[in-house]
Amino acid sequence: MGKYFNTEGVCIPEMHYMVPLDNRIRGIRKKYVERGSYFVINRGRQYGKTTTLRLLAKDLEQDYMVVSMDFQGIGTEEFRNEAAFSRAFAKMFSDGVKISDMADKDILRETLGPLPADAPRMGLMELFEKLSRVCAVSLKPAVMIIDEVDSATNNQVFLDFLALLRRYYMNRENQPIFHSVILAGVYDIKNLKLKLRPEADHKYNSPWNIAAEFNVNMSFSADQIETMLTEYEREHNTGADMRQVAEEIYQYTSGYPYLVSAICKKMDEEMPEIPLYAELKKIWRKEGVVYAVNMLLKRNLTLFDSMARQLDRYPDLKEMLEDILYCGKRIIFSPGEKSINLGLMFGFLKEQDGRVVISNRVFEMYLLNMFAAQESRSDAFSRGDSDRNQFVKNHRLDMDLVLQKFVEYFQDIYSEKDDRFVEAYGRKIFLLYLKPIINGTGNYYLEAQTRDARRTDVIVDYLGEQFIVELKIWHGNEYNERGEAQLTDYLDYYHKKRGYMLSFNFNKRKKPGVQEIWIGNKVIVEAVV
């Protein structure tokens, strides 16, 4: 069987199309492991942590005694107290040594000692005495890798474990212990208490302040994606411009590993079953990427489920995301702020030019869809839903008519609202109105480069046809003319002759309505409310 794009668990180079990780592995080894660092790889769900750990362990085996463990293998009962945890940990450690290729594994397991279920009470102190003896007799420096560290259902036991590990680390010149320790999970160690008890005092206190800061970029670049697709092209001969495809995938994912693989998997396995895309050359192009993204957004993915759960759990984070998307708020990047810290940790947010932004376009689109669905009983959504049948003619979306009808609706319902209401909610009302009109067939996203408190560009995709709609807050004629010029530049980028501008105008002498404006060879359909 040939290689395929994998989205289920760890990726294996011999089985799956993969972005090459050799440079990443060498960098982690040189910068962290060889220096004897203890560190944490905490990234969002399905960010390639486990695949990285597997490849790293394999790379280290020749020079180190490597023991890899996964805390998902420890059940709830084993976390109930330190004795149960210590026995479960020691057994998992022993099993990890047993399946390794280490020449001295029998001596190491003998040193660790027998671990029957009915053994006398063994606490954390006894566990660490055993681990220290194992590290002392090992022929190679010991490296311990623990994946899914935030699977612990009773974090306090693990926090006590970390406190002892820290004590041994601080005294490792006198007491043998691991040369390097690598932990991985979504939650950073300092936030483990936050996982189960978000209301707890001192929830950020950490017993493990010895960890080196892990700053390796684990997202994929367009170049790396292209390398993976080039291997695919050699085997399938699609004739596609894989550089262009890689750049388009990157535009939607910002290199989020799972999303990259998921889009490619849709294009490779599902889209050929669709009559329109029966030929590979029709799939592996920019339009195919857009179609695959829309397919992805209609699925109940584990990654999306996790996002929805976290936003239910942390309403302040959800409110921040809505402010960024709907209101164009510029939020200063400060990782010490709780909601920002959470958004970074879960992979929902990232820093860009000193401010907080949504980490990728797919997440933006999913969040906009989710927020719209949650407000599907709002007046704007209901009105768009009732108007929707008149906007599609011969399978084409009539965006001119959409703006015309929205202006009429907005004037009927919101014309008496004060300026602050319109500035805060005007764009949200339009997006809610538009969503049911394109839902199921089209999608939209917000262009990150232009989004701010005054201006947001919405890119609407309907059956492969794109519409550029600028939403702007009126700030005088000069600003308006500058916006028109910016929109024409943006139309050049998208190779479009026609663009749309929706202005929320606070001038009391304004004339609501829709008109066409020619700027050079471009037509701007400008709607004013």
pLDDT in tens, 95-142: 888 888 888 888 888 888 766 555 556 789 999 999 999 999 999 999
Least confident among 297-306, 471-480, 497-506: 471-480
CATH architecture of structural domain 22-196: 3-Layer(aba) Sandwich (3.40)
Whole-number pLDDT of residue 477: 62
For the cut 90, the answer to whether the pLDDT of residue 305 exceeds it is yes
The residue among 483 and 260 whose pLDDT is bigger is 260
For the cut 60, the answer to whether the pLDDT of residue 150 exceeds it is yes
Q: Closest Cα to residue 218, out of 41, 16, 354?
A: 41
Using DSSP, state whether 121 is helix, strand or coil: coil
Euclidean distance between CA atoms 97 and 381, whole angstroms: 59
Q: What is the mean pLDDT of residues 48-54?
A: 95
Per the CB < 8 A criterion, the answer to whether 501 and 525 are in contact is yes
- Residue 276: partners with Cβ closer than 8 Å, 6 or more residues away: 282
For the cut 60, the answer to whether the pLDDT of residue 204 exceeds it is no
Whole-number pLDDT of residue 160: 87
Model confidence at 154, in pLDDT bands (50, 70, 90)? Answer: low
Whole-number pLDDT of residue 201: 47
Whole-number pLDDT of residue 197: 52
Token pair of 102, please?
Answer: 């280490």
Per the CB < 8 A criterion, the answer to whether 459 and 365 are in contact is no
Per the CB < 8 A criterion, the answer to whether 454 and 475 are in contact is yes
Per the CB < 8 A criterion, the answer to whether 518 and 488 are in contact is no
For the cut 60, the answer to whether the pLDDT of residue 193 exceeds it is no
CA distances from 410 to 190, 314, 391, 434, 467 (A): 48, 32, 17, 13, 21
Using DSSP, state whether 455 is helix, strand or coil: strand
Using DSSP, state whether 26 is helix, strand or coil: helix
Euclidean distance between CA atoms 389 and 437, whole angstroms: 8
Using DSSP, state whether 144 is helix, strand or coil: strand
Mean pLDDT of the chain: 87
Euclidean distance between CA atoms 358 and 348, whole angstroms: 6
Q: Closest Cα to residue 212, out of 53, 362, 35?
A: 35
Question: Could you tell me where the beta strands, DSSP code E, fall in 23-154?
Answer: 38-42, 65-70, 142-147
Whole-number pLDDT of residue 196: 47
Q: What is the mean pLDDT of residues 138-148?
A: 95
The residue among 42 and 80 whose pLDDT is bigger is 42
